[in-house]
């Protein structure tokens, strides 16, 4: 009896060990698939293994709270920019870390549509992290709806808004992506703003990328800007859709350091206005943001 019991216990232990290993292998397989899905899902990400690029800085949003060494939550009253209806706060109701993502949340705080009836967040790396040239990339799931205006963009680090001595547009602005929900939730635009030789506002002109199907709110996509001394090039999921030469003498601002911004605006001169068809809250999920420098062989 004791021998039979011992044999049974040994067999149980072996089976249990086998099951545990298989279970562990299954979990590892799932984790690997998740990693493939989240970081190696398109040609754009495969390029990050390219020996031509070296990771210089990143925020993977793996901490419990937003890293203050990288980000400032800008506090801005409603209407300051582009007649937008939201006010930007530094509240963790409007920006926080969840499931290893930076989340920006636009909230409708009343049953009225109008100025100061919404809150949102605008985060930037000014005076903390800035770069001149490289590849700037982020994996993002965007919000949607009429009057919703999310952006992933850059401003010249010398802008007077953040303690510098240079006004906009002389500081330069690079829009890696903007989505105007009033236009099309499946279309994003890129643009560049600068001062021409007379000091007046000039721009590249919006260049768009439209999904073959669906909306940018349906799933995550990778948005990239490659920037060197000769040109700017934009990609969505590894597909190039825009470029601009920057060798002209009037584009000196595009050869200085820039910092990164993420935000959701609500309403505004260019974005249209939200209405009863716009659901709230709206979320912008940033899985990661990375900056690469070119490797010179």
Residue with tokens 């040239």: 133
**Cis peptide, bond prior to residue 89, ω within 30 of zero:** no
Residue 177 CB burial class (10 angstroms; 0-12, 13-18, ≥19): buried
Token readout for 118 is 């919404």
253 is catalytic: no
Which residue stretches of the chain are H helix? Answer: 2-39, 43-46
Marked catalytic residue, from 60, 109, 178, 229:
178
Marked catalytic residue, from 84, 173, 189, 253:
173
250 is catalytic: no
DSSP structure string for 176-217: EEE--TTT-TTEEEEEEEEE-TTS-EEE---EEEE-SSS-TT
Cβ–Cβ under 8 Å, residues 76 and 106: no
Which residues are identified as catalytic? 173, 178
């Amino acid at each position: 009896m004791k021998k039979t019991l011992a044999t049974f216990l040994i067999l149980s232990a072996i089976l249990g060990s086998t099951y545990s290993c298989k279970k562990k292998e299954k979990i590892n397989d799932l984790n690997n698939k998740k990693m493939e899905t989240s970081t190696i899902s398109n040609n754009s990400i495969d390029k990050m293994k390219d020996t031509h690029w070296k990771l210089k800085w990143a925020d993977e949003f793996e901490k419990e709270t937003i890293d203050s060494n990288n980000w400032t939550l800008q506090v801005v009253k409603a209407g300051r920019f582009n007649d937008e209806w939201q006010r930007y706060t530094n509240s963790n109701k409007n920006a926080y870390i969840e499931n290893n993502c930076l989340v920006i949340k636009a909230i409708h705080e009343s049953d009225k549509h109008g100025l100061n009836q919404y809150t949102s967040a605008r985060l930037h790396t000014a005076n903390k992290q800035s770069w001149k040239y490289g590849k700037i990339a982020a994996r993002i799931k965007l919000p949607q709806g009429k009057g919703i205006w999310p952006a992933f963009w850059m401003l010249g680090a010398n802008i007077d808004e953040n303690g510098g001595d240079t006004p906009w547009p002389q500081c330069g602005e690079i829009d890696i992506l903007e989505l105007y929900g009033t236009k099309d939730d499946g279309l994003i635009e890129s643009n560049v703003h600068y001062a021409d030789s007379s000091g007046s506002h000039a721009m590249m002109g919006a260049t768009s990328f439209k999904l073959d199907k669906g909306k940018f709110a349906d799933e995550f996509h990778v948005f990239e800007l490659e920037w060197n001394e000769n040109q700017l090039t934009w990609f969505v999921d590894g597909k190039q859709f825009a470029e601009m030469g920057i060798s002209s003498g009037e584009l000196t601002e595009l050869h200085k350091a820039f910092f990164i911004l993420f935000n959701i605006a609500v309403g505004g001169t260019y974005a249209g206005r939200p209405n009863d068809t716009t659901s709230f809250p709206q979320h912008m999920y940033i899985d990661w943001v990375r900056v690469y420098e070119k490797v010179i062989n």
